[in-house]
């Protein structure tokens, strides 16, 4: 089925104003100005995702990058523009920034436009589907995927078997605390696998800091951070008896603490094969 048939549920149903306020949980691209009189009914944001943009009759082009999907509805009592007015307003806004329409379709009452514009050294693509009283935006700021996981499970096991240890810099904590940041979880989930799938493997989880702060405080912090990592792994099913912890504070630097890059390298968690 063609995308210009407006398969989005929002656009298939007769318009009825459901609310006057934005959905507080919804996300939108703040760079894209809303058409006057519309409120945010739903919206999501993904750091990296793919979307198939309609670029011709039953022809699509995949774009990957940061993606937003937003659904907007007309507020009760607001002037209701025609779909083509909404579509052309967004087209003109893109043209002012050096962009253009890649695909345009409308039947007089509804339609779909695919637009693109320069965005630094990359591009912003946007597909807009409009019908009376509602429109949907799918936006991708094109970019390559950034590697989020420092090492894979197999790479971790290989390093442990070859070198006897592995240093991990992607396990991040709140400043001065032992609270693990949420963005560390993909890496932590990778290092769950080696001890889970290798019953004879026992590990020491060892924390290291830079030399900012007092040595005693750094030692205590490194011990607590190592314990936090162990707690996470145990929570994922690793046998606690096969994990020990150790904090070294700032006593074992691997780089120059006089530089920010050096301090970042010194802040690490090491897994040491026992």
Q: How far from 196 is each of 18, 104, 163, 192, 237, CA to CA, in Å?
A: 50, 53, 20, 6, 7
Pick from 18-22, 98-102, 233-237: least confident: 18-22
CB 129 within 8 A of CB 53: no
CB 100 within 8 A of CB 116: yes
> What is the spatial distance between Cα 115 and Cα 32, in angstroms, rounded to a whole number?
13
Strand partners for 204: 244, 272
Once rounded to an integer, what is the mean pLDDT over residues 189-196? 93
> What is the spatial distance between Cα 109 and Cα 93, in angstroms, rounded to a whole number?
21
For the chain, give the percent of residues with pLDDT over 90: 78
Once rounded to an integer, what is the mean pLDDT over residues 53-65? 92
User: Residue 16: pLDDT above 50?
Assistant: no
User: Residue 4: pLDDT above 70?
Assistant: no
Once rounded to an integer, what is the mean pLDDT over residues 189-205? 94
- Report the pLDDT value the prediction gives residue 261, as an integer from 0 to 100: 86
Q: What is the pTM of this model?
A: 0.52
Once rounded to an integer, what is the mean pLDDT over residues 91-112? 96
User: Residue 5: pLDDT above 60?
Assistant: no
- Report the pLDDT value the prediction gives residue 148, as an integer from 0 to 100: 59
- Reported as type and span, the H/E element at residue 94 is helix 83-96
User: Residue 14: pLDDT above 80?
Assistant: no
User: Residue 196: pLDDT above 70?
Assistant: yes
CB 167 within 8 A of CB 150: no
The 10s digit of each residue's pLDDT in 129-141 is 999 999 999 999 9
User: Residue 13: pLDDT above 80?
Assistant: no
Strand order in the sheet with 203-208: 165-168, 268-273, 203-208, 243-247
């Amino acid at each position: 089925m063609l995308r210009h048939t407006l398969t989005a549920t929002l656009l298939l149903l007769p318009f009825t104003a459901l609310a006057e306020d934005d959905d507080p949980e919804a996300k939108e691209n703040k760079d894209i100005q809303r058409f006057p009189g519309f409120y945010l009914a739903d919206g999501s944001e993904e750091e990296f995702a793919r979307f198939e943009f309609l670029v011709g009759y039953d022809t699509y082009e995949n774009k990957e990058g940061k993606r937003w999907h937003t659904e907007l509805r007309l507020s009760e009592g607001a002037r209701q523009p025609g779909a083509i007015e909404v579509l052309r307003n967004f087209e003109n806004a893109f043209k002012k920034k050096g962009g253009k329409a890649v695909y345009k379709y409308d039947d007089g009452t509804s339609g779909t436009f695919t637009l693109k514009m320069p965005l630094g050294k990359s591009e912003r693509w946007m597909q807009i589907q409009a019908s009376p009283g509602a429109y949907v935006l799918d936006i991708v700021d094109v970019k390559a995927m950034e590697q989020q996981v420092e090492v894979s499970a197999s790479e971790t096991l290989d390093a442990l078997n070859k070198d006897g240890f592995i240093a991990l810099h992607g396990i991040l904590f709140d400043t001065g605390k032992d609270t693990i940041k949420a963005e560390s979880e993909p890496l932590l989930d990778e290092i769950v696998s080696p001890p889970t799938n290798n019953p004879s493997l026992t590990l020491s989880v060892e924390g290291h800091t830079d030399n900012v702060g007092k040595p005693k405080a750094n030692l205590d912090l490194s011990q607590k951070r190592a314990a936090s990592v162990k707690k996470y792994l145990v929570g994922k099913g690793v046998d606690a008896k096969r994990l020990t912890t150790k904090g070294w504070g700032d006593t074992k630097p691997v780089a120059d603490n006089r530089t920010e890059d050096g301090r970042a390298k010194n802040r690490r968690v090491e897994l040491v094969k026992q």
